[in-house]
Amino acid sequence: MLHITTLHYLVLGAALFLLGVIGVLTRRNVVIVLMSIELILNAVNLNLVAFSRYWQGIHGPTALHGQVFAIFVITDAAAEAAVGLGILIAFFRNKETVNMDEVNLLKW
Amino acid sequence: MNPPVATPFFFYLLAGTMIIGGILVITRKNAVHSAMALITTLLAQAALYLMLYAPFVAGVQIILYAGGIMVLFLFVIMLINLERNMKERQFNRQWLVGIATAAALGGLFIAVYTATTRGKVLFPEGRMSYVEADNTQKIAGLLFDRGMGQYMFAFEIASLLLLVAIIGAVVMAKKRI
Amino acid sequence: MSGYRSIWGSRAGNDHCNDPPEIPRLADEGARLRDDADKKASPGGLGTDGIRMTDPNTLSPLDLETPDKTFLDANELIINMGPQHPATHGVLRVILRLDGEKVMGLECVIGYLHRGVEKIAENRTYTMFNPYVDRMDYVAAVSNGLGYCEAVEKLLNVGAPARAQYIRVILTELNRIASHQLWLGTHALDIGAITPLFYTFRDREEILKIFEKYCGARLTTHAFRIGGLQYEAYEGFEREVKNFLTFFTPKIDEYEELLTTNRIWLERTKGVGTISGPDAIALGVTGPVLRASGVKWDIRKAQPYANYKNFEFEVPTGQNGDTYDRYLVRIAEMRQSCRIIEQAVAGVPEGPIMAKVPKVMKPPVGEIYHSIEAPKGELGYFIVSDGSTQPYRIRVRPPSFVNLQALEVMCRGQLVADVIAVIGTLDIVLGEVDR
Amino acid sequence: MHDLILYIQSYLDSDRTPGGAGNVFWATVYILLVFGGLSVAVIAMNWLERKILAHMQVRLGPMRVGPHGLLQPIADAIKLLLKEDIIPAEADKLVFWIAPFIVVLAAFTVFVVVPFGPTHAITDMNIGILFMLGVSSLSVLGIVTAGWASNSHYPLIGALRSSAQMVSYEVAMGLAVLSVILMTSLNATGTGTLSMIGIVQAQLTQGEWFIFKFFPLGLIGFFIFAIAMVAETNRAPFDLPEAESELTAGFHTEYSGFRWSLFFLAEYSAMIAVSSIAVTLWLGGWLRPFPNWLSGDRWDLVFSLFPGITFVLLALMCFYNTARMPKHPLFKIQTIGLAGFGAVLGLIGLLLFWTPVRVRVTDIFWFAAKVAGFMYLYIWYRGTFPRYRFDQLMKVGWKILLPMGLALLILTAGMGMRTELWAQLQGVWRGQ
């Protein structure tokens, strides 16, 4: 039976990261772009937690730094989503669109 | 501690779910469908955290991401009507460049991987056992224990960040300030 | 004086609080005569001008809502409440203009239960029309009958005998209690308290039993006849009414126990749907709604009819004109009704129950406006007689119909949930609104 | 084969949950038992709610289907299953289809960590209470998507109301829960626990239910949770999302038949779920009354007789009502049915007196009895209270419960650390 190693998780994380990057770079809809950013953050988180397991295997069960990092990243994601969606609503109210490439004014 | 059951099977199941979910997120026209796909991805990832002996992170992932952030997303999607948006072009003009960039990034990953793994095993499995029974307590220890709470300061900064985010969100979303 | 103008129906309400008018304004204007009448026959007759007709076709929310308008940018959402809606008490349709949950404006669309009662009257004799009035405010059929019978009696210039008057008062006040009970139950149900409904229905049943024993019908009673009563009070009528009073008085406390000091009830009703006294008068609002705004206007006191001047009772009023005050006023009215019934039962005289009225009624040419204090407000009948056996025109001033126009004033700026509370507190009966 | 039997038997002597012992067979059995028990509980709750509410409202409630309407929930279930499943033409079909399943899944998954006894839980997670709160918060997703997918105004408003309400009350709920977590750390090691079983055991070792801990504080926490959980489950007086008189039926206005019944099932199992959280956190979970004061084998025996006695009393009630049934031949089947039902209950009661069963069931009984108390409260609220308005609801959540929760958290922490704080203060004093 194939053993699941840290590397498996890293590959999965990389794949998700790439998907997120594609989403951010190609989509016009801001909401979906924000979701793609969440995808990227999650890919990073997956890596961090996988590293945390790897680190635990070497340094013992208290070496949970990766998990702590992941929690910080989640906090950050919450803040980012709140502010990002706030900006989105403000933008939508003024321009009546949620398309990324129509955000071309510094002031309105 | 009993050994985990059928780990590869669950890993590939969850990984497949996540990848498919991720693809759906970036390809769906309807933002609500994207959000649903993202929720699926996030929940699958929470399950992967459980497999990685990180139950607390999994719990936080469920309660914060799936129960909090995604509800916020759905809320906003419902507030802004996307009917018109769905009839429009979904991808921007530089989509080809975007995909090329992402492909380049992927190529970079592969290159790094092949360059570093030549002749050695990356991330060998450690000898220590993984304990999840007091995972929460250990994380709490790292965050705010007197002896080894090395992330105390970062924790406080994070709370400050959240405060700023609250104010920012309110300021941004308020109709008339 | 307030800026509101009564747009539906008459401006008779404007006369309240001044000296009791000799002739109500409705009659003064000549009122609307028959709609098939020759224009020359009614010079200055009211057309449809001054009455805002709502064409339901032009007000479809689907038309108003342009497809790419959104919730946020338009800041407005148009919601169609009714005609099939659990809280509109029948087939009332309210088109709400909302900002979030805040009501920016509303429009009532009525007429779904229109049966042309007034037109039917023109093809019926005075006696034949009597049962029809029960079908207007079917919750307070007895009051409707009383108003109609008294109006025709006034036209014929006959008076009901004393015994008939007493029994009429007893039945009408019982009916007032029944109507208020039904209001209380449904109003509480709208606000989310489901239990009072069953309590009030349990107690209303006792009243309906008395009605049933008296005239055979429970709801559309047709209890009175022009000139008196058809039926003598049955054996033990007085005892049963007394029994009802001893049974019912503690029940009012029971209702109050459930609601009056309930925190949620207070929060839901205090300061909700407020209307000031002058506004209420300007809109022609009558009945408990008017009295809750601090205007002491009760036709039983102001222009006593039947034999109400023989009884001692108070006219309960409120101060704030909000939903809670209207609730208190109606509860107090139930107690006052009990008081009136108590006095009436004690003093029912012996004697005939029917005055001498001709078999074929041919009232003299003329017109009459007679109004009574129905449970919901001033119920007026304007009858034009051309000397034949059938009325030339009957116009009803239904309290619900006129009170309903206060809905927008009371709801503007409130929340959707308050609209429900206000519709409930107005105590409308769609049978009466649409006639 | 023999190995299999040994494998199955091996768990019976274990003092851990099947999940903890890693026994797949028993875990499956427990999952089925919990799922089945929950469904039965929802069915019973349906009948009981209608009956109790009816008796509060001077009426009889269901009386036609079966004796005293006992078969009414089954009849309803059959009716709902046979009903046409309507999906509105303009609805988003996929999401409309998925939404009820999300709600049901969220409501049922929670029961994975509910401890019905020291070993009677599917599994005991290290993050038990976090898992419960997290998964139960997922039902918001189902409600929001249900309202959105219906493509209709009332469901949308209902869904927005519902999600705003649930998200707001989760905050107060979480703070109340945190105060209990702090209380669990009052032991020699000074570390608390999130595990549901651990929380109950902390109450056992500390010798009191957390509702009485630091006297008013535990009670206040319980009070906050008890209010928030009613709001969380969208029940009266916080049933705004389904306010019948305002929004017809809220987010499930467009649903019918089987899908509607899934929402119904989810609502009731969510009620049971949050009640079990409250029971576990404040009312000592499976602990019988006075486990420390009235300890000893004799008292254990006395208290373990309660389940049997309860069922026998229920059976006697059935027999009494059988005797009161009308004697008309039309009622013959109903009378026999009621007597049969009573006999079944009586047999269950007698079975519960049998020692091996008695010992295993008594914990579950006390847990269920406490949850049943909460269920009665739910019905009682529904019979008594009018409905809050949306802004008032938000006011209660954010302006009353949230500050109370924060103050409670600080006070609980202070009370837990009072000796250390006092020592520090004295140190500061002496330092001067």
Give the tens place of pLDDT for each residue, B37-72: 999 999 899 988 888 888 888 888 888 888 888 888
The side-by-side arrangement of strands in the sheet containing C93-99 is C77-81, C93-99, C102-109
Q: Measure B171 CA to nearest chain C CA, in Å.
A: 16
Q: Are strands C366-374 and C224-225 parallel, antiparallel or unpaired?
A: unpaired
CB C107 within 8 A of CB C185: no
Q: Which residue has the tokens 């080894």?
A: B148
Alpha helices for A60-106 (secondary structure H)? 65-95
CA distance from start to end of chain B: 57
Give domain status of residue C51, yes or no.
Answer: no
C86 touches chain D (CB under 8 A): yes
C257 touches chain D (CB under 8 A): no
Residue numbers in B near A14 (CB within 8 A) = 106, 109
Q: Among partner residues B52, B128, B154, which is closest to A61 by beta-carbon distance?
A: B128
User: Closest chain A residue to B172 measured between Cα atoms?
Assistant: A86
Q: What is the mean pLDDT of residues B95-123?
A: 83
Q: Average pLDDT of each block of 10 consecutive residues along chain D (432 residues)?
A: 75 71 79 88 89 88 83 88 84 85 88 84 83 86 85 80 83 89 82 84 84 85 90 82 67 82 88 90 84 78 85 90 84 86 89 82 87 90 84 87 91 86 87 71
- Please list the residues that pair with C373 across neighbouring strands: C378
- Please list the residues that pair with C374 across neighbouring strands: C377
Q: What is the mean pLDDT of residues C50-79?
A: 47
CA dist list (Å): C340 to C206, C231, C347, D20: 18, 22, 11, 75
Q: Measure A52 CA to nearest chain C CA, in Å.
A: 44
Segments forming the whole domain that contains residue C353? 114-434
Give the separation between CA B109 and CA B107, rounded to whole angstroms. Answer: 5
Residue numbers in C near A90 (CB within 8 A) = none
Nearest to D352 by CA among D311, D319, D303, D318: D311
Tokens of A59: 């340094």
ipTM surpassing 0.85: no
Q: Which of B77, B80, B81 to probe the C interface (max C CBs under 10 A)?
A: B81
Give the SS3 label for residue A96: coil
**pLDDT top residue among C275 and D9:** C275
Residue numbers in C near A88 (CB within 8 A) = none
Confidence of residue C64 (pLDDT cuts 50, 70, 90): very low
Residue numbers in B near A22 (CB within 8 A) = 26, 98-99, 102
Give the separation between CA D30 and CA D25, rounded to whole angstroms. Answer: 9
Q: CATH number for the domain including C397?
A: 1.10.645.10
Domain limits of chain A? 6-96
C64 touches chain D (CB under 8 A): no
Give yes or no for residue C38 having a pLDDT over 80.
Answer: no
Residue numbers in C near B80 (CB within 8 A) = 70, 72
Q: Measure D96 CA to nearest chain C CA, in Å.
A: 21
Residue numbers in C near D155 (CB within 8 A) = none
Confidence of residue A2 (pLDDT cuts 50, 70, 90): low
DSSP per-residue codes, C324-387: HHHHHHHHHHHHHHHHHHHHHHHTPPPS-SB----SS--PPSEEEEEEEEETTEEEEEEEEE-S
User: Closest chain B residue to D23 measured between Cα atoms?
Assistant: B2
B58, D194: Cβ pair inside 8 Å? no
Query: Counting every residue, how long is chain D?
Result: 432
For C236-253, write each residue's pLDDT tens digit.
Answer: 888 888 888 898 888 888
Give yes or no for residue C219 having a pLDDT over 70.
Answer: yes
Name the DSSP letter for residue B67: I
Residue A107 confidence (pLDDT): 64
Query: Which phi and psi (to 5°) does residue D186 adopt?
Result: -85, 70
Chain C positions contacting chain A at CB under 8 Å are 70, 72-73
Nearest to C190 by CA among C108, C251, C273, C314: C273
| Choice among A18-27, C64-73, D226-235, D378-387 with the minimum mean pLDDT | C64-73
Q: Among partner residues D125, D140, D149, which is closest to B71 by beta-carbon distance?
A: D140
CA dist list (Å): D285 to A76, C94, D288, D297, D365: 36, 50, 8, 20, 11
B80, C68: Cβ pair inside 8 Å? no
Average pLDDT, chain B: 81
Domains within chain B, CATH numbers bracketed = 1-87 (1.20.120.1200), 134-177 (no CATH)
User: Closest chain B residue to D134 measured between Cα atoms?
Assistant: B63
Confidence of residue C25 (pLDDT cuts 50, 70, 90): very low
Give yes or no for residue C377 having a pLDDT over 70.
Answer: yes
D390, C189: Cβ pair inside 8 Å? no
Q: Which residue has the tokens 């929460």?
A: B136
Helix (H) or strand (E) holding D43: helix D24-56
Residue C9 confidence (pLDDT): 46
Confidence of residue B130 (pLDDT cuts 50, 70, 90): low
Residue numbers in C near A89 (CB within 8 A) = 72
Give yes or no for residue C40 having a pLDDT over 60.
Answer: no
Confidence of residue A66 (pLDDT cuts 50, 70, 90): confident
Residue C139 confidence (pLDDT): 85
Residue C70 confidence (pLDDT): 40
CA distance from start to end of chain A: 61
CB C96 within 8 A of CB C103: yes
- Please list the residues that pair with C372 across neighbouring strands: C379
Give domain status of residue C92, yes or no.
Answer: no
Residue B20 confidence (pLDDT): 92
Q: Are strands C93-99 and C77-81 parallel, antiparallel or unpaired?
A: antiparallel
Give the separation between CA D91 and CA D93, rounded to whole angstroms. Answer: 6
For C81-128, write each residue's pLDDT tens digit.
Answer: 777 777 777 788 888 887 767 787 788 888 888 888 888 888 888 888
Give the separation between CA C168 and CA B96, rounded to whole angstroms. Answer: 89
The number of distinct structural domains making up chain C is 1
Nearest to C81 by CA among D247, A108, D64, D375: D247
Give yes or no for residue C29 having a pLDDT over 50.
Answer: no
Q: Among partner residues D56, D57, D387, which is closest to C192 by beta-carbon distance?
A: D387
- Please list the residues that pair with C396 across neighbouring strands: C381
Helix (H) or strand (E) holding C107: strand C102-109
CATH architecture of A6-96: Orthogonal Bundle (1.10)
